[in-house]
Structure 1
Amino acid sequence: MRVITGSARGARLKTPKGAAVTRPTADRVKESLFNILGSMVQGRKVLDIFAGTGNLGIEALSRGAESAVFVDKATEKLIRENLTITHLSDKAMVRSGDVFTEMTRLAQGQADFSLIFCDPPYHKGLWEQALQQIDQSQGLMAENGILVIEHGADEGEFPALGRLVQVMNRRYGHTTQLSFFQWKSYVESEEEEP
Protein backbone atom coordinates (compact mmCIF):
# COMPACT_ATOMS: atom_id res chain seq x y z
CA MET A 1 0.00 0.00 0.00
CA ARG A 2 1.50 3.31 -1.12
CA VAL A 3 0.72 7.01 -0.86
CA ILE A 4 -0.58 7.96 -4.31
CA THR A 5 0.50 11.58 -4.63
CA GLY A 6 1.61 14.72 -2.82
CA SER A 7 4.50 15.31 -0.44
CA ALA A 8 4.73 11.63 0.58
CA ARG A 9 4.12 10.24 -2.92
CA GLY A 10 5.33 6.67 -3.33
CA ALA A 11 5.93 6.05 0.38
CA ARG A 12 5.07 2.45 1.25
CA LEU A 13 2.85 2.21 4.33
CA LYS A 14 3.27 -0.59 6.85
CA THR A 15 0.36 -2.98 7.26
CA PRO A 16 -0.29 -5.22 10.25
CA LYS A 17 0.62 -8.86 10.34
CA GLY A 18 -2.62 -10.81 10.01
CA ALA A 19 -5.54 -9.36 8.08
CA ALA A 20 -7.95 -9.60 11.02
CA VAL A 21 -6.72 -6.31 12.52
CA THR A 22 -7.37 -4.02 9.55
CA ARG A 23 -8.92 -4.11 6.09
CA PRO A 24 -7.14 -1.35 4.18
CA THR A 25 -9.01 0.59 1.51
CA ALA A 26 -8.22 -0.87 -1.92
CA ASP A 27 -5.90 1.33 -4.00
CA ARG A 28 -8.48 1.82 -6.78
CA VAL A 29 -11.14 2.90 -4.24
CA LYS A 30 -8.69 5.28 -2.57
CA GLU A 31 -7.64 6.74 -5.92
CA SER A 32 -11.28 7.25 -6.93
CA LEU A 33 -12.10 8.85 -3.56
CA PHE A 34 -9.29 11.39 -3.84
CA ASN A 35 -10.12 12.09 -7.50
CA ILE A 36 -13.66 12.98 -6.36
CA LEU A 37 -12.37 15.21 -3.54
CA GLY A 38 -9.69 16.79 -5.74
CA SER A 39 -8.41 20.13 -4.47
CA MET A 40 -11.07 20.19 -1.72
CA VAL A 41 -8.60 18.28 0.48
CA GLN A 42 -6.18 21.22 0.70
CA GLY A 43 -6.24 23.16 3.96
CA ARG A 44 -8.81 20.91 5.61
CA LYS A 45 -8.78 19.57 9.16
CA VAL A 46 -9.17 15.81 8.85
CA LEU A 47 -10.59 13.21 11.22
CA ASP A 48 -9.85 9.58 10.30
CA ILE A 49 -11.92 7.23 12.48
CA PHE A 50 -11.41 3.46 12.48
CA ALA A 51 -8.14 4.60 10.90
CA GLY A 52 -6.41 1.21 10.63
CA THR A 53 -3.08 1.93 8.93
CA GLY A 54 -3.87 5.65 8.67
CA ASN A 55 -4.03 5.22 4.89
CA LEU A 56 -6.81 7.77 4.16
CA GLY A 57 -5.73 10.47 6.59
CA ILE A 58 -2.10 10.17 5.48
CA GLU A 59 -3.12 10.50 1.82
CA ALA A 60 -5.08 13.65 2.73
CA LEU A 61 -2.09 15.12 4.58
CA SER A 62 0.19 14.29 1.66
CA ARG A 63 -2.21 16.20 -0.61
CA GLY A 64 -2.19 19.36 1.49
CA ALA A 65 -4.66 18.87 4.35
CA GLU A 66 -3.79 21.17 7.26
CA SER A 67 -3.88 18.53 10.01
CA ALA A 68 -5.31 15.13 10.88
CA VAL A 69 -6.51 13.27 13.95
CA PHE A 70 -6.43 9.47 13.69
CA VAL A 71 -8.58 7.32 15.96
CA ASP A 72 -8.20 3.55 16.24
CA LYS A 73 -8.16 1.43 19.37
CA ALA A 74 -5.93 -1.33 17.98
CA THR A 75 -3.41 0.29 15.63
CA GLU A 76 -1.99 3.41 17.31
CA LYS A 77 1.63 2.21 16.99
CA LEU A 78 1.20 1.29 13.32
CA ILE A 79 -0.31 4.70 12.48
CA ARG A 80 2.58 6.45 14.25
CA GLU A 81 5.10 4.37 12.26
CA ASN A 82 3.36 5.27 9.00
CA LEU A 83 3.33 8.96 9.92
CA THR A 84 7.08 8.74 10.59
CA ILE A 85 7.70 6.99 7.25
CA THR A 86 5.80 9.74 5.40
CA HIS A 87 7.33 12.61 7.45
CA LEU A 88 3.83 13.82 8.40
CA SER A 89 3.93 13.33 12.19
CA ASP A 90 4.09 17.08 12.87
CA LYS A 91 0.63 17.54 11.30
CA ALA A 92 -1.02 14.63 13.07
CA MET A 93 -2.42 13.43 16.39
CA VAL A 94 -3.17 9.77 17.11
CA ARG A 95 -5.77 8.71 19.67
CA SER A 96 -6.16 5.08 20.70
CA GLY A 97 -9.43 5.12 22.63
CA ASP A 98 -12.87 3.90 21.68
CA VAL A 99 -13.95 5.72 18.49
CA PHE A 100 -17.34 6.80 19.84
CA THR A 101 -15.90 8.09 23.12
CA GLU A 102 -13.15 9.96 21.27
CA MET A 103 -15.67 11.54 18.88
CA THR A 104 -17.64 12.81 21.89
CA ARG A 105 -14.45 14.30 23.41
CA LEU A 106 -13.45 15.94 20.11
CA ALA A 107 -16.94 17.42 19.68
CA GLN A 108 -16.82 18.87 23.21
CA GLY A 109 -13.57 20.59 22.20
CA GLN A 110 -15.29 22.12 19.15
CA ALA A 111 -12.90 20.34 16.79
CA ASP A 112 -14.92 21.31 13.67
CA PHE A 113 -13.31 18.87 11.25
CA SER A 114 -13.89 19.76 7.61
CA LEU A 115 -13.17 16.26 6.25
CA ILE A 116 -14.07 13.06 8.11
CA PHE A 117 -13.20 9.55 6.92
CA CYS A 118 -15.10 6.62 8.44
CA ASP A 119 -13.92 3.18 7.32
CA PRO A 120 -14.82 0.56 9.95
CA PRO A 121 -15.08 -3.20 9.44
CA TYR A 122 -18.17 -3.96 7.34
CA HIS A 123 -21.37 -5.64 8.64
CA LYS A 124 -20.86 -4.76 12.30
CA GLY A 125 -23.17 -1.73 12.58
CA LEU A 126 -20.22 0.57 13.26
CA TRP A 127 -20.54 2.98 10.34
CA GLU A 128 -24.27 3.33 11.02
CA GLN A 129 -23.57 4.19 14.66
CA ALA A 130 -20.85 6.67 13.66
CA LEU A 131 -23.12 8.30 11.07
CA GLN A 132 -25.87 8.80 13.64
CA GLN A 133 -23.44 10.16 16.24
CA ILE A 134 -21.98 12.68 13.78
CA ASP A 135 -25.51 13.67 12.66
CA GLN A 136 -26.45 14.43 16.26
CA SER A 137 -23.16 16.05 17.31
CA GLN A 138 -22.37 19.72 17.73
CA GLY A 139 -18.77 20.81 17.20
CA LEU A 140 -17.41 17.69 15.49
CA MET A 141 -17.93 18.52 11.81
CA ALA A 142 -17.50 22.00 10.36
CA GLU A 143 -20.32 23.80 8.52
CA ASN A 144 -18.69 23.06 5.15
CA GLY A 145 -17.59 19.59 6.26
CA ILE A 146 -17.59 16.45 4.16
CA LEU A 147 -18.11 13.01 5.70
CA VAL A 148 -16.99 10.00 3.64
CA ILE A 149 -18.13 6.55 4.75
CA GLU A 150 -16.72 3.39 3.23
CA HIS A 151 -19.10 0.47 3.65
CA GLY A 152 -20.04 -2.84 2.09
CA ALA A 153 -21.70 -2.84 -1.33
CA ASP A 154 -24.63 -4.73 0.21
CA GLU A 155 -25.02 -2.27 3.12
CA GLY A 156 -27.53 0.25 1.84
CA GLU A 157 -29.84 0.83 4.79
CA PHE A 158 -29.04 4.24 6.29
CA PRO A 159 -30.19 5.13 9.79
CA ALA A 160 -32.65 8.01 10.16
CA LEU A 161 -30.78 11.33 9.86
CA GLY A 162 -31.87 14.77 11.02
CA ARG A 163 -29.13 17.13 9.83
CA LEU A 164 -26.88 15.23 7.41
CA VAL A 165 -27.82 14.46 3.82
CA GLN A 166 -26.19 12.04 1.38
CA VAL A 167 -24.79 14.04 -1.55
CA MET A 168 -23.08 11.27 -3.51
CA ASN A 169 -22.60 7.51 -3.64
CA ARG A 170 -20.11 5.43 -5.64
CA ARG A 171 -20.04 1.62 -5.88
CA TYR A 172 -16.92 -0.45 -6.53
CA GLY A 173 -17.73 -3.95 -7.72
CA HIS A 174 -19.49 -6.32 -5.36
CA THR A 175 -17.57 -5.36 -2.23
CA THR A 176 -17.40 -1.61 -1.52
CA GLN A 177 -19.25 1.66 -1.75
CA LEU A 178 -18.44 5.20 -0.71
CA SER A 179 -21.16 7.48 0.62
CA PHE A 180 -20.57 11.23 0.94
CA PHE A 181 -22.55 13.35 3.41
CA GLN A 182 -22.80 17.06 4.18
CA TRP A 183 -24.94 19.19 6.46
CA LYS A 184 -28.39 19.71 4.92
CA SER A 185 -28.26 23.42 5.83
CA TYR A 186 -24.95 23.85 3.97
CA VAL A 187 -26.16 22.03 0.85
CA GLU A 188 -29.34 24.13 0.79
CA SER A 189 -27.40 27.39 1.20
CA GLU A 190 -25.08 26.42 -1.67
CA GLU A 191 -28.07 25.66 -3.90
CA GLU A 192 -29.61 29.08 -3.18
CA GLU A 193 -26.52 31.01 -4.33
CA PRO A 194 -26.74 32.22 -7.97
Structure 2
Amino acid sequence: MRIISGKYAKRNLFTLKSQKTRPTSDKVKESLFNSLGQFFAGGEVLDLYAGSGALGIEAVSRGCERAVLNDVSRPACQIIRKNVDLTKEPDRFEVFTMPAKVALKVFADQERKFDLVFLDPPYAKQQMVKDMTALASLDLLKPGAKIVVETDEQTDLPPVAGFDLLKDHHMGKTIVRIYQRAE
Protein backbone atom coordinates (compact mmCIF):
# COMPACT_ATOMS: atom_id res chain seq x y z
CA MET A 1 0.00 0.00 0.00
CA ARG A 2 1.28 3.44 -0.90
CA ILE A 3 0.42 7.12 -1.20
CA ILE A 4 -0.92 7.50 -4.74
CA SER A 5 -0.63 11.21 -5.53
CA GLY A 6 0.38 14.61 -4.26
CA LYS A 7 3.28 15.75 -2.18
CA TYR A 8 3.89 12.37 -0.48
CA ALA A 9 3.32 10.30 -3.66
CA LYS A 10 4.84 6.84 -4.02
CA ARG A 11 5.76 6.47 -0.35
CA ASN A 12 5.06 2.94 0.82
CA LEU A 13 2.99 2.72 3.97
CA PHE A 14 3.17 0.29 6.85
CA THR A 15 0.08 -1.81 7.55
CA LEU A 16 -1.02 -3.75 10.60
CA LYS A 17 -0.62 -7.50 10.28
CA SER A 18 -4.07 -8.30 11.61
CA GLN A 19 -7.56 -9.29 10.49
CA LYS A 20 -8.97 -6.37 12.51
CA THR A 21 -8.07 -3.79 9.87
CA ARG A 22 -8.88 -3.85 6.17
CA PRO A 23 -6.63 -1.39 4.36
CA THR A 24 -8.27 0.37 1.44
CA SER A 25 -6.66 -0.95 -1.74
CA ASP A 26 -4.71 1.45 -3.95
CA LYS A 27 -7.25 0.95 -6.75
CA VAL A 28 -10.21 1.85 -4.50
CA LYS A 29 -8.27 4.75 -2.97
CA GLU A 30 -7.42 6.18 -6.40
CA SER A 31 -11.04 5.94 -7.57
CA LEU A 32 -12.28 7.48 -4.32
CA PHE A 33 -9.98 10.49 -4.60
CA ASN A 34 -10.81 10.91 -8.29
CA SER A 35 -14.46 11.16 -7.21
CA LEU A 36 -13.65 13.76 -4.57
CA GLY A 37 -11.88 15.96 -7.10
CA GLN A 38 -8.30 14.62 -6.76
CA PHE A 39 -6.79 17.67 -5.05
CA PHE A 40 -7.90 19.96 -2.24
CA ALA A 41 -7.36 23.61 -1.36
CA GLY A 42 -6.97 23.22 2.39
CA GLY A 43 -9.49 21.84 4.82
CA GLU A 44 -9.46 19.60 7.86
CA VAL A 45 -9.92 15.82 7.58
CA LEU A 46 -11.10 13.27 10.14
CA ASP A 47 -10.53 9.55 9.68
CA LEU A 48 -12.50 8.08 12.57
CA TYR A 49 -11.41 4.46 12.00
CA ALA A 50 -7.97 5.19 10.57
CA GLY A 51 -6.37 1.72 10.55
CA SER A 52 -3.06 2.62 8.86
CA GLY A 53 -3.90 6.30 8.41
CA ALA A 54 -3.65 5.93 4.63
CA LEU A 55 -6.80 7.89 3.72
CA GLY A 56 -6.03 10.88 5.93
CA ILE A 57 -2.40 10.95 4.83
CA GLU A 58 -3.49 10.75 1.18
CA ALA A 59 -5.89 13.67 1.73
CA VAL A 60 -3.10 15.83 3.20
CA SER A 61 -0.77 14.74 0.40
CA ARG A 62 -3.40 16.07 -2.03
CA GLY A 63 -3.76 19.47 -0.39
CA CYS A 64 -5.78 19.21 2.82
CA GLU A 65 -4.22 21.27 5.59
CA ARG A 66 -4.48 18.82 8.49
CA ALA A 67 -5.74 15.34 9.35
CA VAL A 68 -7.05 13.89 12.58
CA LEU A 69 -6.48 10.12 12.61
CA ASN A 70 -8.28 8.05 15.21
CA ASP A 71 -8.39 4.33 15.89
CA VAL A 72 -9.39 2.36 18.96
CA SER A 73 -6.49 -0.08 18.46
CA ARG A 74 -3.15 0.82 20.05
CA PRO A 75 -1.17 -1.32 17.54
CA ALA A 76 -2.99 0.45 14.69
CA CYS A 77 -2.08 3.84 16.17
CA GLN A 78 1.58 2.77 16.34
CA ILE A 79 1.41 2.00 12.60
CA ILE A 80 -0.35 5.32 11.94
CA ARG A 81 2.46 7.18 13.76
CA LYS A 82 5.08 5.35 11.68
CA ASN A 83 3.23 6.33 8.51
CA VAL A 84 2.89 9.95 9.65
CA ASP A 85 6.67 9.98 10.23
CA LEU A 86 7.13 9.05 6.54
CA THR A 87 5.56 12.39 5.56
CA LYS A 88 8.26 14.36 7.41
CA GLU A 89 5.45 16.76 8.41
CA PRO A 90 4.11 15.34 11.68
CA ASP A 91 2.69 18.72 12.72
CA ARG A 92 -0.01 18.31 10.04
CA PHE A 93 -1.42 15.22 11.76
CA GLU A 94 -2.96 14.35 15.12
CA VAL A 95 -3.29 10.72 16.18
CA PHE A 96 -5.82 9.62 18.78
CA THR A 97 -6.51 6.21 20.36
CA MET A 98 -10.18 6.27 21.38
CA PRO A 99 -13.45 4.53 20.62
CA ALA A 100 -15.24 6.47 17.88
CA LYS A 101 -18.11 7.59 20.13
CA VAL A 102 -15.66 9.01 22.69
CA ALA A 103 -13.56 10.66 19.98
CA LEU A 104 -16.58 12.47 18.55
CA LYS A 105 -17.48 13.85 21.98
CA VAL A 106 -13.87 14.97 22.57
CA PHE A 107 -13.75 16.72 19.20
CA ALA A 108 -17.11 18.41 19.93
CA ASP A 109 -15.78 19.61 23.31
CA GLN A 110 -12.77 21.05 21.44
CA GLU A 111 -15.19 22.73 19.00
CA ARG A 112 -13.51 21.03 16.03
CA LYS A 113 -15.10 21.18 12.58
CA PHE A 114 -14.21 18.99 9.62
CA ASP A 115 -14.47 19.43 5.85
CA LEU A 116 -13.99 15.75 5.01
CA VAL A 117 -14.67 12.65 7.11
CA PHE A 118 -13.77 9.04 6.35
CA LEU A 119 -15.89 6.30 7.94
CA ASP A 120 -14.86 2.68 7.52
CA PRO A 121 -15.81 0.95 10.78
CA PRO A 122 -15.35 -2.79 11.02
CA TYR A 123 -18.95 -3.34 12.08
CA ALA A 124 -21.04 -2.02 9.21
CA LYS A 125 -24.14 0.03 8.75
CA GLN A 126 -25.57 0.49 12.22
CA GLN A 127 -22.42 2.28 13.35
CA MET A 128 -22.04 4.38 10.21
CA VAL A 129 -25.54 5.80 10.51
CA LYS A 130 -24.93 6.51 14.22
CA ASP A 131 -21.59 8.18 13.44
CA MET A 132 -23.07 10.36 10.69
CA THR A 133 -25.94 11.37 12.96
CA ALA A 134 -23.49 12.18 15.78
CA LEU A 135 -21.25 14.22 13.45
CA ALA A 136 -24.26 16.38 12.56
CA SER A 137 -25.81 16.63 16.04
CA LEU A 138 -22.46 17.47 17.69
CA ASP A 139 -21.90 20.18 15.05
CA LEU A 140 -18.58 18.70 13.90
CA LEU A 141 -19.07 19.44 10.20
CA LYS A 142 -18.35 22.60 8.26
CA PRO A 143 -20.98 23.69 5.72
CA GLY A 144 -20.78 21.47 2.65
CA ALA A 145 -18.66 18.85 4.45
CA LYS A 146 -18.35 15.48 2.74
CA ILE A 147 -18.42 12.08 4.39
CA VAL A 148 -16.92 9.07 2.66
CA VAL A 149 -18.34 5.72 3.78
CA GLU A 150 -16.66 2.48 2.73
CA THR A 151 -18.51 -0.82 3.06
CA ASP A 152 -18.56 -4.30 1.62
CA GLU A 153 -21.05 -5.21 -1.10
CA GLN A 154 -23.51 -6.77 1.38
CA THR A 155 -24.05 -3.57 3.35
CA ASP A 156 -27.06 -1.55 2.27
CA LEU A 157 -27.24 1.82 4.01
CA PRO A 158 -30.58 3.55 4.53
CA PRO A 159 -30.93 7.27 3.76
CA VAL A 160 -29.39 9.33 6.58
CA ALA A 161 -31.28 12.42 7.73
CA GLY A 162 -29.35 15.62 7.11
CA PHE A 163 -27.16 14.17 4.35
CA ASP A 164 -27.43 13.92 0.58
CA LEU A 165 -25.91 10.92 -1.19
CA LEU A 166 -23.68 12.37 -3.93
CA LYS A 167 -22.03 9.23 -5.32
CA ASP A 168 -22.33 5.49 -4.92
CA HIS A 169 -19.34 3.60 -6.39
CA HIS A 170 -19.18 -0.19 -6.66
CA MET A 171 -15.59 -1.38 -6.99
CA GLY A 172 -15.47 -5.15 -6.84
CA LYS A 173 -16.49 -6.17 -3.33
CA THR A 174 -16.14 -2.62 -2.01
CA ILE A 175 -18.77 0.11 -2.11
CA VAL A 176 -17.78 3.72 -1.52
CA ARG A 177 -20.55 6.22 -0.85
CA ILE A 178 -19.93 9.95 -0.72
CA TYR A 179 -22.40 12.03 1.29
CA GLN A 180 -22.61 15.76 1.74
CA ARG A 181 -24.10 17.58 4.66
CA ALA A 182 -27.45 18.95 3.50
CA GLU A 183 -27.74 22.71 3.67
Give TM-score scaled by structure 1 length. Answer: 0.87
Structural mapping, 1:10-89, within 5 Å = 10-18=10-18, 20-39=19-38, 41-74=40-73, 75-89=76-90
Using the TM superposition, give the Cα deviation of residue 25 of structure 1 relative to its aligned residue in structure 2, in angstroms: 0.5
Larger Rg: 1
User: Matched residues in 2 for 1:177 and 1:124: separation?
Assistant: 12
CA contact (8 A) 1:58 1:88 kept: no
Residues 73-123 of structure 1 deviation map (CA, whole Å, 9 limit, x = unaligned): 111111010000122311000010111111122123221100111111254
Aligned AA (1:24): P
CA contact (8 A) 2:39 2:63 kept: no
Give TM-score scaled by structure 2 length. Answer: 0.92
Q: Which residue of 2 aligns with 1:179?
A: 177
How many pairs were matched up? 181
User: Matched residues in 2 for 1:28 and 1:150: separation?
Assistant: 13
CA contact (8 A) 1:76 1:95 kept: yes
Tell me, which stretches of 5 or more residues in structure 2 are unaligned? none
1:129 aligns with 2:127: no
Using the TM superposition, give the Cα deviation of residue 134 of structure 1 relative to its aligned residue in structure 2, in angstroms: 2.0
CA contact (8 A) 1:72 1:98 kept: yes
User: Matched residues in 1 for 2:15 and 2:129: separation?
Assistant: 26
- Report the secondary structure of 1:135's partner residue: helix
Aligned AA (1:129): K
Aligned AA (1:125): Q
Distance 1:12 1:40, change over 3 A: closer
State the identity %.
34
CA contact (8 A) 2:65 2:92 kept: yes
User: Matched residues in 2 for 1:31 and 1:93: separation?
Assistant: 23
CA contact (8 A) 2:3 2:11 kept: yes
Aligned AA (1:162): A
Aligned AA (1:8): Y
User: Matched residues in 2 for 1:39 and 1:164: separation?
Assistant: 22
Aligned AA (2:79): L
Q: Which residue of 2 aligns with 1:188?
A: none
1:97 aligns with 2:95: no
Aligned AA (1:23): R
User: Matched residues in 2 for 1:136 and 1:145: separation?
Assistant: 14
Using the TM superposition, give the Cα deviation of residue 136 of structure 1 relative to its aligned residue in structure 2, in angstroms: 2.6
Using the TM superposition, give the Cα deviation of residue 151 of structure 1 relative to its aligned residue in structure 2, in angstroms: 1.0
1:115 aligns with 2:86: no
User: Matched residues in 2 for 1:124 and 1:38: separation?
Assistant: 26
